[in-house]
Structures are given as C-alpha cells and as structure tokens.
Amino acid sequence: MDNEKQILDIIEQITRNDGTKYYELANIVMNGRAEKAAELGLIKEVRILKLNIPHSSAVSVYEDYVNENYTVPPMDLKEWVEYKKPEGKVRDAFNEILKANRIISKEDKTEE
C-alpha cells in the first residue's frame, strides 16, 4: 500500500494531545490509522468533517504533495506524523480546499 497513489477524499479534524486541532485531507485507510493513533494515545482524537469531497485541481496539488512526501502509516504505529503544509502552492491549495468545503471562511487560513 505504501507505493500506491493515495486518493484523498476526506477532511478530518485531528486533536493533538495538547488539545490543539488541525485539519487534514485523508482517505478511509488513513482515517483508520488516525483512529488507531488515538487509541494508542499518539493523538487525542480524529473526527471526519467531510466525506467524498470533490476532486478539484487544488485537491490534486495537495494529493501529489502528500504522495511524493509521505507514506500511509503502518498498522503498528509507533508515532504520529503530522503532514507539513509549506508556504506557497501547497498551503494555498490546502486552504482553497478547506474554503470550498466550508471548513474555514474566505478570511481564515491555516498556519504551519
């Protein structure tokens, strides 16, 4: 599975152990790993906010970035890896996805 291209179609809200929250794009397999991470205490909680999001050009940009830089976590998780969202094209695409799916308003932006 690590070598397969991941199609991202879910927006999650992940709560870190310190109580802070962030958004992530995922799929059902990745969501399962996040649920496992919560059970293991690596994160506090994961919630699915949107299912089957439209596959826009912004999703393609972020999806390509994730597939080039990360792999799906293994079932026997030892750590939780939070995806970075670098300034520029990747973060702009991510913010556009959140806005299009009404997760954040046009004035809001995610921060690294």
Q: Kindly list the distances between the CA atom of residue 102 and the CA atoms of 8, 40, 42, 83, 96, in Å, as whole numbers in the listed order.
A: 17, 31, 28, 21, 10
pLDDT tens digits, one per residue of 43-90: 999 999 999 999 999 999 999 999 999 998 888 999 999 999 999 999
Alpha-carbon gap, residue 16 to 81, rounded angstroms: 11
Alpha-carbon gap, residue 37 to 1, rounded angstroms: 18
**pLDDT value of position 4:** 81
Q: Domains of the chain: which residue ranges? A: 10-101
**pLDDT value of position 106:** 59
Alpha-carbon gap, residue 38 to 44, rounded angstroms: 5
Structure tokens at 16: 């870190």
Q: Do residues 70 and 81 touch, judged by C-beta distance below 8 A?
A: yes
